[in-house]
Amino acid sequence: MGQFDVHRNIGKQSVAIPFVVVVQSSLFDRYRRRVVVPLVRKSALEATAESCGSRMNPRFLVEGIEVMLHPLEIVSISVDRLGERVASLSEQGAAIADALDELFTRSWS
């Protein structure tokens, strides 16, 4: 389980949120939990995301499904609650880190 690995969502909201992406550093792999951010179907989040801007909600294509990162729903889940690994977004890691930075950094403007 690497940082930016995408796993199938096996939870109740899997229709709207088909995947989650692990954002936790591998420094904490010894823990039995992972910090993940939902990858929400673009059609389910698009109207809300427009107000946040594209930096906060980067878009990705996973298994042919257009999804958007939704950092406001970040969560820690048990490793045994992660579905199968289906992809990696490591090449887009900077966009994911930028979105998290947008969420956690103070805005002085």
Per-residue pLDDT of the chain (109 residues; tens, 9 = 90+): 799 999 999 999 999 999 999 999 999 999 999 999 999 998 887 655 555 566 889 999 999 999 999 999 999 999 999 999 999 999 999 999 999 998 888 666 5
What global pTM score does this model have? 0.89
How many Å apart are CA 62 and CA 59, to the nearest integer?
Answer: 10
| Best CA proximity match to 104, nearest among 49, 46, 56 | 56
Q: Can you spell out the DSSP letters for 46-62?
A: HHHHHHH-TTTS-EEEE
Rg (CA), the chain: 13
Q: Which residue has the tokens 């109740």?
A: 12
Reduced to 3 states (helix: H, G, I; strand: E, B; else coil), residue 105 is coil
Cα–Cα distance list, 90 to 20, 50, 52, 61, 75 (Å):
14, 25, 23, 13, 19
